[in-house]
Amino acid sequence: MSEFVDLETQDGVRMTWNTFPGTKQEALSCVIPVAAMYTPLKPIPDTPVLPYSPLRCRICRSILNPFSVVDYVAKIWVCPFCFQRNHFPQHYMSISEENLPAELFPQYTTIEYASSPDTGPKMPSVFLFVVDTCLIEEEIMFLKSALSQAIELLPENSLVGLITFGTYVQVHELGFGHMPKSYVFKGSKEITKEQLLEQMCFFAGRPRPNVGVIAGPRDGLSPESIARFLLPASECEFVLNSVLEELPRDPWPVPADQRASRCTSTALSIAASLLGLCVPGSGARIMAFVGGPSTQGSGSIVSKNLSEPIRSHKDLDKGAAALYNKAVKFYEALSKQLVHQGHVLDLFACALDQVGVAELKVVVERTGGIVVLAESFGHSVFKDSLRRIFQSTDYDLGLAFNGVFEVNCSKDVKVQGIIGPCASLEKKGPLCAETVVGQGNTTAWKMCGLDKKTSLCLIFEIARKDGPESISQHTSNQFYFQFLTYYQHSDGQMRLRVTTLSRRWVTGSADVQDLLAGFDQEAAAAVMARLVSLKMEIEVFNNSPDETAYYRMILNRENVANAVVMIQPSLISYSFHSSPEPVLLDVTAIAADRILLLDSYFSVVVFHGASIAQWRNSGYQNQPEHETFAYLLKAPREEADAIMKERFPVPRLVVCDQHGSQARFLLVKLNPSVTYNSNNPPPPGGDILFTDDVSLEVFLDHLQRLAVQ
Amino acid sequence: MESASPFASGPPRQRPAMVSNPTSVVQTPLIGRSMAPSSSVPLPSPFGSALPGFSRPAATPLASRPPPPGAIPQGPIAGNGPRIPGFTAPRTLPPPSVQPAPPSAASSSIRPPTPYASATQDSGLQSYPGSPPSGASVATLPMPFVGPPASQQFGRPPTSQPLFSGPPRSQPPFAGAQYLQRPMAGSTNSQLPLAGPPTSQSPFLGPPTSQPPFTGPPTSQPPRPNTPQPPFAGLPTPQQFGGPSTQTLTGPPISQFVGPPTSQPYAGRSSSPSQMATPSSQPFSMPPTVGTSFGSPVWPSQPGQMVPSLPGNVQAPPRMFGMPPGMPGQPIPPVLPAMGHSALAGPQVSTQSKIDPNQIPRPLPNSSITIFETRQGNQANVPPVCIQSIFVVKDNGNCSPRLMRCTLNQIPCTGDLLSTSSMPFALMVQPLALPHPSDDPIPVVDFGESGPVRCSRCKSYINAFMRFIDHGRTFVCNLCGFTNETPRDYLCNLGPDGRRRDADERLELCKGTVEFVATREYMVRDPMPAVFFFLIDVSLNAIQTGATAAACSAISQSLADLPDGPRTMVGIATFDCSIHFYNLRRASQQPLMLIVPDIHDVYTPLHTDVVVPLTECRQSVEQLLESIPSLFENNKVSDSAFGAAIKAGFLALKPTGGKLLVFQSVLPSVGIGSLSSREAEGRTNASAGDKEAHKLLQPADKTLKTMAIEFAEYQVCVDIFITAQTFVDIASISVVPGTTGGQVYYYYPFSALSDPGKLYNDLRWNLSRPQGFEAVMRVRCSQGLQVQEYAGSFCKRIPTDIDLPAIDCEKTIMVTFKHDDKFQENSECAFQCALLYTTVYGERRIRVINLSLPCTSMLTNLFRTADLDTQFACILKQAASSIPVNSLSQVREQITNLCINILHAYRKFCATVSSSGQLILPEALKLLPLYTLALVKSIGLRNDGRFDDRSYWASHVMSLSISLAVPLVYPRMISIHDLTAKENDGSLSSSNIPLSSEHINDDGIYLLENGEDCLIYVGNMVNPDTLQKLFGVTSVDGLPTQLVLQQFDNDLSEKLSDVMNEIRQQRCSYLRLRLCKKGDPSGMHFMSYMIEDKTAGGLSYVEFLVHVHRQIQTKMA
């Protein structure tokens, strides 16, 4: 397994099969599809950033890479994908075996190119805050303080805008010095980009160009008119803070039997249009802070009447959620718009209720946005996550914008699609498989937002028909992939990352061992998880549609390791008897003298056994003679902190004691091998689960029986 | 229960003084400021202390005057006061202008009066004579009036007449007839109220302007003249003439005209004429001499005498005139020759030349105060001519004529009779009209929880004319005739006279106008608070022309005039191509601007805090107003979303209702109700002879109308202040105020230098004048008549009622009637107007205004009691409403024909005796031709006007009060270069100059005002010293085109300030000043007001008379 991790470290890629089944038929019988989990911006130490443009194959446009065969004498390189012979251009003339350009170094299978100043200016990143005001006073205070902290952390050169919404949408004109000023739009009415252009007086006093799409300064918008709404953070911090400080709750009265009138979709649509007008094609994020269900506008998820419950999975199954489809349709259109503009939607949904994440999922996912779900704006999951986005530390997210991802493969390997935070650019080619999975039928994808950990799952299809003959035709059974990622770096620079990989085919029963040796079980689990969640919208247990959507969105952007944690939480035991060790995710792992650390991705639980808790409550850890106990207590906390530092969204930290109410966060994840009605009593200090669920053992027995039959 | 206060709630609030900003006060430039201190203070009292006022006149410092608005009524009064010796001297002034008139005649004429006087005394008026002489206090006067029962007098007049005729002084011929009648009139002084007595003396006056004799006297003294009148009181007799108080214009008639002219000036008010006579008798006699030398001090003395003022009498006199018919026969003939009317006689002859332009009828100002009793001897009195007349109303069962008056003071028994007369039949209702301070207050009556007693069939309110029978157990409704049971707790025995014993204690049973406290039953919700929402245009044009700054400043200063109290709310929004609301109630004090950009689907951005209580947020409102001009100083948006803005303002007001005050500078070009610049195409079409040009006076579409109806439904009233430089399509815009009880103010072309003063004063008056909200009005009438139509600014959703989101003291509603049955000869026809409204202090009231008039089957009675002012207002409104529908030439023809038809009817049925060569004018209507001519030449009916001007005119006219109707088309002109030379206390009205270029001299400076605009015309030979004194420049060329009057430290300038202030008070309007120079386009503009002149498109006055005469003769033949 570690070899796979090594490969990942080098290129950010993990594949289900590192040795490919040789034919389509064989691939099919492998059940687990040939797939790759690729983390385009994974930080790879020592990756050079080349300050020049890449050299491309004349025919297939693939980029010069270490796998290219170079004729140093003739100054020719052969494209490994199409076998085209390309001449080196003039400035490569000094090339020789001793004098190689970086892109030909064998260890630089992943390399970056940066745009030179003349190929493109640095573009400031744009943050447009879209803030819900239909909140109770307490929540709005939490939100304000979180936002004002975030504003302090904004990069100085980034542009900032503010939209608030409730019954109405208010677009704040932060550039108006005299008094707080905002444009107010009706929440129940959709408004197009054209109307916005008209209504926000972008052409005040000047004739409006009569043709073409109007967007951005290049098409006639004056920088001044844009600067009314999007200002450098350094310039508008004061105004922004004062507006936020006085931000009132939505002033419209809400009858006792009704939900607040909240027009989330209209606000987002206006935000999208505003960005589309002002900064099309340059990196920008809409950061939406939503504190409740949308009840107004095309994206509403429930009526205002409180007697009508918010849709559940059951309603969705039965088709009883009338608003759901309409909302999804609306958000699909919005996602197209945002993708077209290259902008991201980030969603911070903090409410005890559902807010419509399920409907919004399509936008967030297609644009590569961040999503954080918490129960309150005061909750650390939200506050810490928000801070993480802007904080520049070792653990920063490395937010990048406006990415385009392209794939190039050798013949006979086709791409079915990508499952992950991206949107098809509908660039069709011979590489596209007929079967489509996720965002398919293209060889290029838009990734409006991506970060260091964003991982794509590419599903391949082996197109080679027959075995022996075809193999024999080729002297080599090597073949290649090239992943190209164009993106706007968080510093504003445009970059291109190129990863070129080589794998080999095996075919026939003789090589089954080879095949098995190349099987990456973890990657397979992660890929299958994405595939299953893509195909299966039902059979969801115990979650609301919002939660389901949330978990899946996170799953679909995480790398293999984290996906595995999500699938099977890790459980580590701390005790006096041994150094920290992983233990089975089973109820039997509980013991009175143990501390358990559960990492289930979304939450991290530190669980003190009954005795440990007792000792701790007695304050032993404070006594010098019990220093080891203090250490024991501290160790899992430190580990938990380490996990939390690295993870985004920041997980919920639960510190609990055996038999405490919070212990449920651990218990729910454990295999119920011992329940209230099992025959074997728990060991002393152990625990039992009050559940009728079957244990893993029973499940496996059943599975075996089915498999055999 | 009975509170005297005119406005139920309101007495407290005083009218805002129209502060003249610039003129009077030093600060001039600043609009609002001037107002403040001095002026305002005095004002409040104005009404209350009528008498005091008199004495004051002299004392009042000019500068401060501004306050006047409130004071307005007083102004005139003051004039009367002059009596005081000291004062008299000063007053002399006015006359001067008159001078031109033939002195000789004057002298002669004057004397006659005296004789009259004696005559009058005979009639029993004696008391008058006595009183006048004393010249004593006004108070005395009233008495006299009372004394003379009109009826009795009637009989006598005839007798007297001869005398008069004899006297007919100079103009004699003409005068003769008229005078006789006039004498009565003379007594009537009433007319003049404002004008200053001078006019009243009319005998002279009548002529004053035109004819020398009269002129002489009239002009100056006006106020004083009153004294003389008393004698007239006797006049009442005139009424007897009853018949046709016509004046014959025929050849001789002309002469008659002359006579009439003097008195009549004030329309129907025979009073003037009478005054003439009477006054002439005594005072006049004096004047006559003076006449020649108007300037001469003589007048002053007279005034003192004149004082008499017999308002009441005045009326009577008119009737006297009626006599003319008879009169004409005798006196006239002789006259005719003199006049050289032959021309007239011979229809065909273009005798114009023969008509002496100085002899034809013209309005005569009258400055005396009269007392008008609405009923006497259980009969309705004919109300005084209102133009420039001052009268005090004693409510004896009929309402004050200020509140409601009828075109006919006797009701024709049948529809046929009415149509034979051709006269219009309508009521003018001005339900909240400003009272004279000495008027009987309108009592407030509270019936407790049961509410006012009403007829159970027709729902009319209990009033003095409901007849209690059967020992008081039942009462008969005077409107529908239904017999109702008297409510148990309202029972009262009847006295021997058949009246309830408590009739005199119960004000609803003895007063013509009462206000009932409304019960819950009359409310669909709690009475609304006073809410004012200001909408300010901040588009490029508005900012650059200074209109925005002017509006903000005006609003800011006007805040102080809003009703006090926690219930007063204000809101502010601005707009260009979007609408900007302001949240004024915020923790941080700083307002928050909220922009509503969707101008096709408008909404308010906030639920609360768009409209805030003034007391809590005054400071932030003021700050905001101060900062608005700078907030938008770089605004580049030239579009205006007017329609959307008012819709947004409406939405803000929807929960409460209220007043929406809009300041608009450009054509609404975008959003809901946007309009196109259709004037340009209209102009092209018009030049191409397009007959559809009048369609540009119709609203462009129904959008605004639909909106306006919705506004009205939610009690939102819209007033629009248009500060434009270009076409804004008032035809379309004015629909909104026209439907919501609001009005249009028009400042074109807006000048940041000279207009802010008027803008501020207009706004201030708009906010502080007596007014009511969420009103519903209905007029009921006796069986036999039915209401045909209402006209004015209101919204009508059901046939019987009109909805008035707001109603103020100036809004007048015309109600027309038609017969659906016959009346008995001796019955009375009753009218009852009920106005349910909420005061600015949140009290719900029902104002019930009753008028009961005798019915007649005699055409002569109809003509004798015709009310010219009211009729003319009616004709004016009808003309205004037909210009969008018919071509201008058609409308002019209609009006002219109406005049001809009326006169023809009179000629045919009431003056058959006269020779066919004579043009006979009914005394009461003798000014009809003049007014008709003026109307035909008015802005609204002229071909050369801009469409916006015409639309504005039409919208302005629709709710115009009677007292402002005549001046609008027949402006007042006075000379100002010689103000100091006039012996007068500063009351201007005496010196009216006929609107003819003959009276304009190159070395003169003239002021002409029509209640809206004030033109100051400077001849090209004016004495530099005069220029220096008045304008601070030494040459005509040095005069600025945009005039801001400043007061300089010299008599003349102070005098001018006084005059301006007096006019402003009188008109309740600040007046837009415009300087006109001879030889300049502005001079041409001024000349266009000289309606007696022959113009390219119209006849001269004399020609018009000839034309009318010919037409009548043609018809007769």
ipTM of the complex in this document = 0.87
Higher per-residue pLDDT: B1098 or B535? B535
**Cα distance from B615 to chain A (closest Cα, Å)?**
22
CA distance B938 to B933: 9
Is it the case that residue B29 has pLDDT exceeding 60? Answer: no
Average pLDDT score over residue span A282-299: 92
Reported confidence tier of residue B834, pLDDT bands at 50, 70, 90: very high
Q: Do B594 and A184 touch (CB under 8 A)?
A: yes
State the average pLDDT for chain A: 88
Q: Which of B581, B601, B609 sits opposite A189 (nearest CB)?
A: B601
CA-nearest residue to B603 within chain A is A186
Is it the case that residue A361 has pLDDT exceeding 90? Answer: yes
Q: Do B609 and A251 touch (CB under 8 A)?
A: yes
What tens digit of pLDDT does each residue of A618-632 get? 999 999 999 999 999
**Cα distance from B756 to chain A (closest Cα, Å)?**
26
Higher per-residue pLDDT: A26 or B206? A26
Is it the case that residue B580 has pLDDT exceeding 50? Answer: yes
What pLDDT, on the 0 to 100 scale, is given for residue B421?
Answer: 93
Is it the case that residue A268 has pLDDT exceeding 70? Answer: yes
Contacts B577 to A, Cβ<8 Å: 201, 204
Per DSSP, A359 falls in state H
Give A403's strand partners: A447
**Cα distance from B706 to chain A (closest Cα, Å)?**
23
CA distance A565 to A562: 5
What pLDDT, on the 0 to 100 scale, is given for residue B992?
Answer: 82
Reported confidence tier of residue B263, pLDDT bands at 50, 70, 90: very low
Q: Do B591 and A199 touch (CB under 8 A)?
A: no
**Cα distance from A659 to chain B (closest Cα, Å)?**
49
Contacts B540 to A, Cβ<8 Å: 205
Reported confidence tier of residue B210, pLDDT bands at 50, 70, 90: very low
CA distance B298 to A481: 121
Interface-testing mutation among A167, A184, A296, with chain B (most B C-beta atoms within 10 A)? A184
**Cα distance from B607 to chain A (closest Cα, Å)?**
5
Average pLDDT score over residue span B896-900: 95
Reported confidence tier of residue A420, pLDDT bands at 50, 70, 90: very high
Q: Do A181 and B593 touch (CB under 8 A)?
A: yes
CA-nearest residue to B540 within chain A is A205
What pLDDT, on the 0 to 100 scale, is given for residue B346?
Answer: 36
Q: Which of B595, B609, B636 sits opposite A183 (nearest CB)?
A: B595
Average pLDDT score over residue span B429-439: 92
Alpha-carbon distances of B994 from B102, B203, B501, B1017, rounded to whole Å: 15, 16, 54, 15
Q: Do B590 and A179 touch (CB under 8 A)?
A: yes
Question: Does residue A168 belong to the interface with chain B, where contact is any CB pair within 8 Å?
Answer: yes
Average pLDDT score over residue span A219-231: 82
State the average pLDDT for chain B: 72
DSSP string covering B739-775: HHT--EEEETT--TTTSHHHHHHHHHHHHHSSEEEEE
Q: Do B592 and A181 touch (CB under 8 A)?
A: yes
DSSP string covering A90-137: GGGTT--SSS--GGGSTT-SEEEEE--TTT------EEEEEEE--S-H
Alpha-carbon distances of B244 from B237, B858, B862, rounded to whole Å: 14, 10, 8
Average pLDDT score over residue span B274-287: 34
Higher per-residue pLDDT: B291 or A356? A356
Distance spanning both ends of chain B, measured CA to CA: 62
What pLDDT, on the 0 to 100 scale, is given for residue B300?
Answer: 30
Higher per-residue pLDDT: B140 or A388? A388
Contacts A266 to B, Cβ<8 Å: none
CA-nearest residue to A250 within chain B is B606
Span of B80-89, B332-341, B1017-1026 with lowest mean pLDDT: B332-341
Question: Does residue A229 belong to the interface with chain B, where contact is any CB pair within 8 Å?
Answer: no
Question: Does residue A376 belong to the interface with chain B, where contact is any CB pair within 8 Å?
Answer: no
Contacts B641 to A, Cβ<8 Å: none
Question: Does residue A225 belong to the interface with chain B, where contact is any CB pair within 8 Å?
Answer: no
Q: Do B595 and A179 touch (CB under 8 A)?
A: no
Q: Do A204 and B594 touch (CB under 8 A)?
A: no
Contacts B591 to A, Cβ<8 Å: 179
Q: Do B631 and A179 touch (CB under 8 A)?
A: yes
Q: Do A179 and B591 touch (CB under 8 A)?
A: yes
Contact B88, B1072 (CB under 8 A): no
Contacts B590 to A, Cβ<8 Å: 179-180
Contacts A222 to B, Cβ<8 Å: none
Rg (CA), chain A: 28
DSSP string covering A145-212: HHHHHHHHHS-TT-EEEEEEESSEEEEE-TT--SS-EEEEEETTS---HHHHHHHTTTTTTSPPP-SS
Size of interface A-B (CB pairs under 8 A): 75
What pLDDT, on the 0 to 100 scale, is given for residue B687?
Answer: 56
Is it the case that residue A298 has pLDDT exceeding 70? Answer: yes
What pLDDT, on the 0 to 100 scale, is given for residue A1?
Answer: 66
Percent share of chain B, pLDDT over 90: 42
Q: Do A181 and B608 touch (CB under 8 A)?
A: no
Span of A119-123, A468-472, B50-54 with lowest mean pLDDT: B50-54
Q: Which of A191, A204, A251 sits opposite B608 (nearest CB)?
A: A251
Q: Do B627 and A178 touch (CB under 8 A)?
A: yes
What contacts A88, CB < 8 A, 6 or more positions away? A55, A75, A76, A77, A95
Residue with tokens 């599809």: A33
| Residue B550 parent element (H or E) | helix B547-558
CA distance B993 to B995: 6
Q: What angle do CA B1008, B1011, B1014 make, to 5 degrees?
A: 35
Contact A415, A431 (CB under 8 A): yes
What pLDDT, on the 0 to 100 scale, is given for residue B34?
Answer: 35
Average pLDDT score over residue span B18-23: 40
Is it the case that residue B918 has pLDDT exceeding 50? Answer: yes
| Residue B515 parent element (H or E) | strand B513-517
What pLDDT, on the 0 to 100 scale, is given for residue B1035?
Answer: 87
Contacts A178 to B, Cβ<8 Å: 627, 630-631
What pLDDT, on the 0 to 100 scale, is given for residue B911?
Answer: 81
CB half-sphere exposure, B426, CA atoms < 13 A = 28
Is it the case that residue B1046 has pLDDT exceeding 90? Answer: no
Q: In terms of Cα–Cα distance, which of B242, B234, B243 is closest to B163?
A: B234
Reported confidence tier of residue A463, pLDDT bands at 50, 70, 90: confident
What pLDDT, on the 0 to 100 scale, is given for residue A119?
Answer: 55
What tens digit of pLDDT does each residue of B406-424 get? 999 999 999 999 999 999 9
Average pLDDT score over residue span B843-871: 94
CA-nearest residue to A251 within chain B is B607
Is it the case that residue B291 has pLDDT exceeding 70? Answer: no
What tens digit of pLDDT does each residue of B731-741 get? 999 999 999 99
Q: In terms of Cα–Cα distance, which of B943, B992, B964 is closest to B1092?
A: B992
Reported confidence tier of residue B144, pLDDT bands at 50, 70, 90: very low
What pLDDT, on the 0 to 100 scale, is given for residue B984?
Answer: 55
Q: Do B592 and A189 touch (CB under 8 A)?
A: no
Q: Do B590 and A183 touch (CB under 8 A)?
A: no
Q: Do B627 and A182 touch (CB under 8 A)?
A: no
Higher per-residue pLDDT: B789 or B367? B789
Burial of A380 (0-12, 13-18, 19+ CB in 10 A): middle
Percent share of chain A, pLDDT over 90: 53
The two three-digit tokens of residue B6, written as one number: 């005119």
CA distance B219 to A74: 120
Is it the case that residue B229 has pLDDT exceeding 50? Answer: no
Span of A270-274, A334-338, B1-5, B700-704 with lowest mean pLDDT: B1-5
What tens digit of pLDDT does each residue of A567-621 get? 999 999 999 888 899 999 988 889 999 999 999 999 999 999 999 999 999 999 9
What pLDDT, on the 0 to 100 scale, is given for residue B312?
Answer: 32
Question: Does residue A200 belong to the interface with chain B, where contact is any CB pair within 8 Å?
Answer: yes
Reported confidence tier of residue A121, pLDDT bands at 50, 70, 90: low
What tens digit of pLDDT does each residue of B640-679 get? 999 999 999 999 999 999 999 999 999 999 999 999 888 7
Percent share of chain A, pLDDT over 70: 94
Give B716's strand partners: B658
Average pLDDT score over residue span B584-612: 84
CA distance A244 to A170: 13
Contacts A204 to B, Cβ<8 Å: 577, 635-637
CA-nearest residue to B601 within chain A is A186
What tens digit of pLDDT does each residue of A237-266 get? 888 888 888 888 888 889 999 999 999 999
Give the ranges where A556-651 is alpha helix by DSSP (H): 560-567, 610-618, 627-646
Backbone torsions φ then ψ of B240, nearest 5 degrees: -50, -40
CA distance A449 to A344: 6
CA distance B453 to B474: 12
Q: How would you classify the pairing of strands A13-15 and A35-38?
A: antiparallel
Q: Do A186 and B540 touch (CB under 8 A)?
A: no
What pLDDT, on the 0 to 100 scale, is given for residue B851?
Answer: 95
CA-nearest residue to A197 within chain B is B597
What contacts B247, CB < 8 A, 6 or more positions away? B177, B178, B181, B253, B256, B257, B259, B260, B264, B321, B324, B328, B361, B920, B921, B922, B923, B926
